[in-house]
Structure 1
Amino acid sequence: MPEYLAPGVYVEEVSFRSKSIEGVPTSTTGFAGFTRFGPVQYAGGPANVGPRLITSFTEFERVYGGLEEIGFLNGARTNYLAHAARAFFANGGKRLYVSRVFKDAVDDLASSHVASLNVPLSTGSADWRARWPGEMGNVLVDTRVVRSKNLAFQHADDPNDILNRDSWGVQVQRVRHGSVVEVLPSAGPFPKDNDALNEANLFVVQIDSDGRQTFAAVGGGVPAPFPFLLGERVIFLVELRVLVYGPSGRLDSYEELGAHPAQRRDIAKVLEADDPEDENAMVYLDWAYDPADLFGPARLMAGLRSVPQKRLSGGRDGNLPGPDELAGKEADPDHANVRATGLEALAEIEDIAIVAMPDAGAYEDADVRKAAADKLISHAERCRYRIAVVDGPKASSISEIRDFRGQFDSKYAALYHPWIEILDPLFPIVPGTPPRKLLLPPSGFVTGIYARSDIERGVHKAPANEVVRGLTAFEININKARQDVLNPEGVNCLRFFEGRGSRVWGARTMSSDPEWKYVNVRRLFIYIEHSIDKATQWAVFEPNNERLWANIRRTIEDFLLVLWRDGALIGEKPEQAYFVRCDRSTMTQNDLDNGRMICLVGLAPSRPAEFVIFRVGQWTADAKS
């Protein structure tokens, strides 16, 4: 209650309307699987290892690498997840989270698979390290020196200068505490930009509280002013440019780098492991500044420039992960640096509504394929507000795909068959030579179609009778006779129709419950339940009385009215499409005593016109209708 303690006018804000419900996103997708590079947890690695949000395939290539094969130690393998991401965006997908899965030779994410390069210094050493494990981390790092023009100057004599700065001797323009400068005789010759650094000519600038510059030399000791007069020497500011040459022509450039923590662009900060300036940087510098070694920044610069070997080595793609690695592990509540992996990492992202594992259907062993599909389906069921898109096995006959389908029963999953053939983008077409083809699991294409259908029509529209983009053919031809067998069993077929192209021709879940037969019905309820869940959190701990019940009813009814108008619910009037009850008829006194508010919501979802039937018969000319 507001307090009125002194006479006056009190203006108060109150609300006379119900709170609105904002629909949750339904097209955001999550993939878990194997990539050539990218964020993944390993011992001693960066802390920022969560799944990344990707909004284009170009961004995917920068974060997780390209389409090239993954060179597992137990045999190279097609990069199915990268191809699935490419198909996802080609078919209309907009937002994709990727959880990379990695496994080394001893079932542990060890740093032995991370590429590195040791940089000897005149005292100690530094290391270039790839940020993530994988063969793609064997990049080339070229550190170049950039010299300024002569920056030496001396303060003029000023009788009003209380600091008496003209007595400071030679100073340097444009420098900060920790800058590295190179001092040479003014008679020359002068080095070119990227010529090697001689530590005997280098000094590290030290600036006191008055702004006076002194200079630390290679021998160490107390920093001192320059002992020469202006004009006897030239002084260059020395900075670094780092060029990182990655695969497929990738080049990352980092300019104007210093080597001291006080520098605005300290190389160890710009290219650090956890939070680099470029979050997609491929490498980081492992070097710790020692405050007792004032000459350390100059020593680091000279060593980085002079290292003879520029390519990192030791990066490997590890072993082929199994279903357990794809499922992942939950984050350790007792250790903040032990994050969730695999599907468990995707479980922490609330916005995801569609999940898939493009690598799961490519396992050679049937039991491993089933185990991987089980992990994906269990993940979707546990998270409640998402649906799993499951791939059938490659080269499946009608009997094999039926046997595979018969092993599952879930209203949170849908199975698609067959695999899809594309022109291999890694092999350009050469005139006179047959183009190389590649078979891919359908999940990447189908999840993109889910997203496209949601954006163009809405989640209530069945994601079927939609064109599949970016393919040459389906692995096998599914005709009507075959689909007559597969469709009732919940196998969604991909089919080619003459004059209408290649289309998704099914929209059924993997459930034996007829109430949840259709994908769009399941996803519509997921959308409504999640939206209500997220938008009514304000009601927790509110007084459990008629005012709250009425507010809840109005809130949900307003939301469902919009859905009815959009065609998501059937009925000529709103009263026929839904009902919302929240009153004494839905709660007992025991419920109230135990703090429970119960609201019943009934919906009449629109189901797809899966069988369009026209009955045509003869009639006589004199017949009356």
Structure 2
Amino acid sequence: MPEYLTPGVYVEETSFRSRSIEGVATSTFGMAGLTRYGPVPYFLTPPGWTTPLVMVPSPQLVTSFTEFERAFGSLGDVGASSLADRRNYLAYAARAFFANGGRRLYVSRVFPFANDANGVPTLASNFAQVPVGNPAIGAFRSRWPGEAANEFAIGISFQRSKNILVPGANGAPAVLKGVQPGAAVETFANAGAIPKGSGPVVPTSASVAIVGRAADDSLGIIDAGGNVVAPGAGAVTHLTVTVNVRWGSRRLDSYPGLELGSDHPRSIANVLQAVDPADDLSLVWFDTGSRPPATLAVGPFVDGLKTLAAVDWTFMTGATESTAVAPADIEGDASDPDDPKRAARGLGALAEQEDIAIVAVPDAVRFALTDQIDMTNALITHCEKPRAYRIGIVDPPKDSSISEVRSFRSQFDSEYAALYYPWMDIVDPTAKPDPGAPQPLIQLPPSGFAAGIYARSDIDRGVHKAPANEVVRGIVGFKQNVTFDRQSVLNPEGINALRFFEGRANRVWGARTMSSDPEWKYVNVRRLFLFLEHSIERSTQWAVFEPNNERLWASIRQSVEDFLVTVWRTGALMGTKPEEAFFVRCDRTTMTQNDLDNGRMICLIGVAPTYPAEFVIFRIGQWTADSQQS
């Protein structure tokens, strides 16, 4: 209660309406698996460092396939050479997801590091580098592991400003302008000695120094003894470096105007640092041999950069790929709160992202059948965890016949997963066919396509609409032809068929979960309840620790009823009026005195969902023309 201690007029704001419940997003997709490059948790101790470099990135959110390629690379092969199937299933699934209407995707990259005899990951060989100087006084290193880093190339160029040395006032020593401590400057006998022309800048390392701040707060040049001295007479130019990083012909990152002194906020070591760089998706980082960045000997550092600048591009070398991936790697584990080096990995990392509503693991199809079953069980377990609020999309084994996919489906029973069959044929986007030759095709599992259709249906109609009778975009056809008679075998067993219809294109022709419980037979019913549960749970957190009395109960009832009325108006619930669509009870009939004594407030909610018109039946009979209708 406010205090009224001084006589006067008090104006107070109050609310006369119930707290609203906001519906959560239902179309955010999450995947865990192999990619060519990109963020993955690891820790290592680079040469010269006394503490390990700890990298614990969260799953990366991307909103387009272009953004996915920038973060995780292209569609090229992934994994160790020992893998029988190195196709980049996760990248193709991401491409299919965005092509079919998806908008938000979280990716948890998996990279199984090799271990030494003591079980400690051996990481150094998984990273590429380009040394600077001979002997090396620093190095450009790949930020993330994988042999794709051997395709990165470093390009260096210098830039030189005009004379920045100006005379001091009243006979005082000359001063530097436009620079701050950590900047590199190049000294000349006079302004006429500054090289002219449009050719590449080639500094003389002996004439390059770093700017420092003297005790009297004036700027000077750091001499060989580490003292800050006045710049003296002559001319001084500001020397900066541009670092270009190229990945094939698809990506070029440019970092212009970088400084050489580690004290400068735009130094190479600060802008291109490993843990928190200016560019979150930078490909490389610059290692000075310590953290924080060491003060490099300016002359040798300039000589090392000049060597790289003498050629157009210098490719990074030394990176190797991971060991063979296993289902346990993709399943991952949760983070350890007592050990910062034990970050969440694989599906365990996706569990920490609350806004994910759809999950898949396309890499499961590269395993043998028993391992694929284990991976599918891990996916289902992930979705069935309390407060997960998500559904999994399961891929069938490659080249499955009707009997084989039925046998595969029989291994599972879950209302939190859906299986789609068969695989897709698409034109290989990485191939360059000969003129006149048939376009090369590749086979892909359906999970990425199905997830995109889920998202498209949610955005266009709502989560209550079954994600079926929707066109599959970006494919040539299906690997197996599912006919009417074949689907009559698959559909009762909860296998969603993908079918071609003459004149109506390729469509998803099923919306069933992998559950034997008829109450949760349909995907849209399961997802509608996940949407309702998650929305109510997230928007009623304010009620925790409120006085558990009639006032709170009435407020909760009003909030939930207002939300369900809105849902009913979208067509998600049955009934011609709200009373037929749902009920909300939160009073003495839902709670005992024992509940109240133990701090429990119980609200009972019942909703009548709409089921899809899976079987549209028209009954037609003969009727004589002279018959009279009553």
Question: Which TM-score tier does this pair reach, normalised by the shorter chain?
Answer: over 0.9
Name which of 107, 127, 136 aligns with 2:139. Answer: 127
Structure-1 residue corresponding to 2:47: none
Query: Contact 1:494/1:502 (CA < 8 Å) preserved in 2?
Result: yes
Out of 99-108 and 494-503, give the one that drifted further.
Answer: 99-108
Q: Equivalences for 1:408-447 in 2 at 5 Å?
A: 408-447=412-451
TM-score by length of 2: 0.93
Q: Provide the C-alpha distance between the structure 1 equivalents of 2:126 and 2:68, rounded to a whole number of angstroms.
A: 22
Give 2:486's match in structure 1, choosing from 449, 462, 482: 482
Which residue of the partner structure matches residue 26 of structure 1? 26
AA matched with 1:57 = F
Matched, 1:37 2:37: yes
Counterparts of 2:564 and 2:394, CA distance in 1: 31
**Per-residue deviation, 1:119:** 2.0
1:142: which partner in 2?
A: 155
1:195 deviation in Å? Answer: 4.3
SS of the residue 2:42 aligns to: coil
Name the count of aligned residue pairs. Answer: 609
The whole-number CA distance in structure 1 between the counterparts of 2:617 and 2:294 is 85
Secondary structure at the counterpart of residue 547 of structure 1: helix
Q: Deviations over 1:380-434 (max 9, x none)?
A: 1115300000000111001100000000000000001101010000113442111
Secondary structure of the structure 2 residue equivalent to 1:329: coil
> Relative to structure 2, which stretch is displaced further, 104-113 or 473-482?
104-113
Q: State which of 204, 207, 210 in structure 1 corresponds to 2:210.
A: 204
Out of 483, 496, 503, the position equivalent to 1:499 is 503
Q: CA RMSD in A?
A: 2.1
Question: How many angstroms apart in 2 are the aligned matches of 1:212 and 1:299?
Answer: 27
Distance 1:185 1:470, change over 3 A: same
**How far did residue 294 of structure 1 move?**
6.9
Instruction: State the one-letter code of the partner of 1:341.
Output: R
* 2:125 aligned residue (100, 109, 112): 112
Q: Shift of residue 221 of structure 1?
A: 4.5
State the shift of 1:285 in Å. Answer: 0.4
* Structure-1 separation of matches of 2:543 and 2:222: 65
Cα displacement string for residues 124-176 of structure 1 (whole angstroms, at most 9, x for unaligned residues): 6112110000112121112221111222321232xxxxxxxx322x3333221
> How big is the shift at 1:224?
2.5
For the Cα contact (< 8 Å) 1:102–1:109, is it kept in 2?
Answer: no
Whether the 8 Å CA contact 1:240–1:301 is kept in 2: the answer is no
Q: Which residue of 2 aligns with 1:10?
A: 10
| Alignment-mate amino acid for residue 29 of structure 2 | T
Work out the CA distance in 2 between the residues paired with 1:413 and 1:16: 43
Question: What amino acid is aligned across from residue 204 of structure 1 in structure 2?
Answer: I
What displacement does 1:299 show? 4.1
Letter in 2 for 1:212: S
Deviation, 1:74, is 1.0
Equivalent residue letter for 2:73 = G
C-alpha displacement at 1:535, in angstroms? 0.6
Q: 1:445-456 maps to which residues of 2 (within 5 A)?
A: 445-456=449-460
| Alignment check: 8 A CA contact 1:257 1:265 kept | yes
Per the alignment, residue 80 of structure 1 pairs with: 89
AA paired with 2:257? Answer: E
The partner residue of 1:100 within 109, 117, 132 is 109
Give the deviation of 1:211 after TM superposition: 4.6
Aligned to 1:305: 306
Distance change in 2, residues 1:289/1:50 (3 Å)? closer
Partner residue in 1 for 2:375: 372
SS in structure 2 at match of 1:84: helix
Q: Relative to structure 2, which stretch is displaced further, 26-35 or 110-119? A: 110-119
State the SS of the aligned residue for 1:559: helix
Task: Show structure 1 runs of 5+ residues with no match.
Answer: 158-165
Residue type of the alignment partner of 2:90: L
Q: Give the drift of 1:447.
A: 0.1
Aligned-partner Cα distance in 2 for 1:68–1:280: 19
Letter in 1 for 2:141: R
Of the three residues 578, 588, 592, the one matched with 1:588 is 592
Is the CA contact (8 Å cut-off) linking 2:29 and 2:357 kept in structure 1?
A: yes
Secondary structure in 2 matching 1:377: helix
Find out whether 1:240 has 2:245 as its counterpart. Answer: no
Of the structure 1 ranges 55-64 and 126-135, higher mean CA displacement relative to structure 2 is found in 126-135
Aligned-pair identity in percent equals 52
* Structure 1 CA distance for aligned equivalents of residues 584 and 269 of structure 2: 59
Residue 593 of structure 1, CA deviation: 0.9
Shift of 1:220: 3.0
The CA distance in 1 between the partners of 2:295 and 2:114, in whole Å, is 43
Name the aligned partner's letter for residue 130 of structure 1: S
1:282 paired residue number:
283
Deviates more, 1:321-330 or 1:450-459: 321-330
TM-score (structure 1 length as normaliser) = 0.93
1:109–1:4: structure 2 CA closer, same or farther, 3 Å change rule?
Answer: farther
Q: 2:167 aligns with which of 154, 165, 173?
A: 154
1:450-469 alignment, distance < 5 Å: 450-469=454-473
Give the letter for the 1:116 counterpart.
Q
Matched with 1:57 is 65
CA gap of 1:54–1:287, structure 2 versus 1, over 3 A, is same
Aligned residue type for 2:22: E
The code of the aligned residue for 1:117 comes to V
1:460-505 per-residue CA deviation (whole Å, 9 max, x = no partner) reads 0000000000000101100011100000000001000000000000
Whichever residue aligns with residue 382 of structure 2, its letter is H
Q: Structure 1 residue 291: deviation in Å?
A: 11
In the alignment, the residues of structure 2 paired with residue 536 and residue 256 of structure 1 have an alpha-carbon distance, to the nearest angstrom, of 50
Residue 605 (structure 1) aligns with:
609
Q: Which residue of 1 aligns with 2:256?
A: 255
Report the secondary structure of 1:143's partner residue: strand
Mapped contact 2:76–2:87 kept (Cα < 8 A): yes
